[in-house]
Amino acid sequence: MACNTMQRTIIRHATLVNEGRTFVGTVVVEGEQIVRVVEEEGEMTGEAAVIDATGMYLLPGVIDEHVHFREPGMTHKATIASESYKAVMGGITSFMDMPNCIPQTTTIDLIEAKHRIAETCSPANWSFYLGATKDNLSEIERLDPATNCGIKVFMGSSTGGMLLGDDKSLYAVFRSTPLPIALHCEDQDIITANIARYKAEFASINSPSAGQIVENGKSSKYPDDLPLRYHPLIRSEEACYRSSARAVEIAEKTGANIHILHISTARELNLFQQGPVEGKQITAEACIPHLLYSDADYATMGTAIKCNPAIKTATDREALRRAVREEIIDTVATDHAPHTSADKEGGALRAASGIATLPHSLTTMLALTDEGCFNVTDVVRTMCHNPALRYHIARRGFIRPGYQADLVLVKKTNDVWTVQKTWVNGTLAYSDGTANPIARGQRLTFAR
């Protein structure tokens, strides 16, 4: 008789948050999959690792659709290994990584090279976007919908060949693929004009000495820079809205399947429909920094919160929070983008844009529930369920029998939320402060 060595785990007495409901129950995992979800424990027989989760919340693993893990080419900032371990520490069981590394991920061969890196080191599940350029339409058309998350289009804030600003290129890309097209929307012409405007304004109210800008009696280390307070004025509401509105217009004309990333203004919300994500052709993402901070925080946080699009006003932040609750914003991600401390020196023009938000994104969102900004079900819907639905990820994002056992156990103690354990495909990838060095995730697949 064959010996059954399949790992079995029973997570008992947890408060489950799943599919709009919160209830105390038990989840049984065998091997990689969830096999039972019960509101009353019932009789559980056979050998198993039993976890008493009394007083803790069991959530589906977070799917972060928007990260910059910096590999290849910028491994002095971060690597797929370092950041995927931070991910599971924060309850993120799957990530989708952006193409603006070195070399830029603009061919299928370069995507496959990143997959080979992830296979050797990532405890979380993974996928990688293909970056759109004016010259890689054939690569976009050949991309396998079942094994790739989507296309990334930069309509602003990009270097090299991935900035697509002309209608001809945008229409060609939008017509080329049924896959989700994830968009960074900022109008580069408006940004360029704003830089010139505010440089002139700042020069007129200061007294340059020996070619250096002086502000508040202090010479700038970077004479061609501008103070950080100009960042949300340069990357303005108009720059964001004009670009997002253009993307929506082209999508409506072409039937493209678009997902506009990191919405930062209340005005942009008028471009999106309210309601469940299923069936939407045009969807929206908010990122943690825009839900957490306002432009008033630049004074104390400095360049630590400098990102593109810029963090805007408190009014914009409150509108974004409301849009999450009202299902206008469909998903919440991090836009995790680590930099060195030297990169973050300077002001509005010189300091690098990007915030490292792992492994605290889930606990930050849960803390905002304590402030009355969201319900826990809103957090699970936008960080777990909807990314799976929006990208048609196969058998993930929910606590359901037959689904992969991507789970996170969280606890609140003295008003502080912490991640206790993270399972990826049934394997305990993180537990009580320690990551599992041999845990390995899987390449995401898509039911398309």
Predicted confidence (pLDDT) per residue in 322-352, tens digit:
999 999 999 999 999 999 999 999 999 999 9
Domain residues for the domain of 46 are 8-59+398-434
The residues, any chain, with a CB within 8 Å of residue 371's CB and separated by 6 or more, are none
**CATH number, domain at 410?**
2.30.40.10
Q: How many domains does the chain have?
A: 2
Residue 207: pLDDT band with limits 50, 70, 90: low
- What is the C-alpha to C-alpha distance for residues 241 and 236, in angstroms, rounded to an integer? 9
- What is the C-alpha to C-alpha distance for residues 254 and 172, in angstroms, rounded to an integer? 9
The mean pLDDT value for 59-72 works out to 98
Q: Are 278 and 311 in contact (CB under 8 A)?
A: no
Does residue 35 sit in the same domain as residue 99? no
- DSSP 8-state class, residue 353: P
Does residue 359 sit in the same domain as residue 427? no
Geometric angle at alpha carbon 325, from 289 and 389, rounded to 5°: 85
- What is the C-alpha to C-alpha distance for residues 324 and 340, in angstroms, rounded to an integer? 32
pLDDT confidence of residue 217: 39
Does residue 120 sit in the same domain as residue 71? yes
Average pLDDT, rounded, for the chain: 94
pTM of the predicted protein model: 0.95
pLDDT confidence of residue 40: 73
pLDDT > 80? residue 425? yes
Q: Which amino acid is at 340?
A: T
pLDDT > 60? residue 44? yes
b/e 194-224 (16+ beta carbons within 10 angstroms → b): bbeebbeebeeeeeeeeeebebeeeebeeee
- DSSP 8-state class, residue 5: -
Residue 440: pLDDT band with limits 50, 70, 90: very high
pLDDT confidence of residue 422: 98
When mean pLDDT is compared across 207-211, 258-262, 356-360, the lowest value belongs to: 207-211
Residue 335 lies in a domain: yes
Residue 441 lies in a domain: no
- What is the C-alpha to C-alpha distance for residues 340 and 360, in angstroms, rounded to an integer? 19
pLDDT confidence of residue 206: 76
Does residue 213 sit in the same domain as residue 105? yes
Residue 85 lies in a domain: yes
More confident residue, 43 or 98: 98
pLDDT > 90? residue 161? no
- What is the C-alpha to C-alpha distance for residues 11 and 29, in angstroms, rounded to an integer? 8
- In percent, the amount of the chain with pLDDT more than 90 equals 90
The mean pLDDT value for 150-164 works out to 85
**416 phi, psi to nearest 5 deg:** -115, 125
pLDDT in tens, 288-308: 999 999 999 999 999 999 999
The mean pLDDT value for 387-416 works out to 98
The mean pLDDT value for 393-405 works out to 98
Does residue 218 sit in the same domain as residue 247? yes
Residue 336 lies in a domain: yes
**367 phi, psi to nearest 5 deg:** -65, -35
pLDDT > 90? residue 247? yes
The mean pLDDT value for 420-440 works out to 97
Does residue 194 sit in the same domain as residue 147? yes
The mean pLDDT value for 419-429 works out to 98
Residue 134 lies in a domain: yes
The mean pLDDT value for 236-260 works out to 98
Q: Which amino acid is at 398?
A: F
- What is the C-alpha to C-alpha distance for residues 215 and 198, in angstroms, rounded to an integer? 14
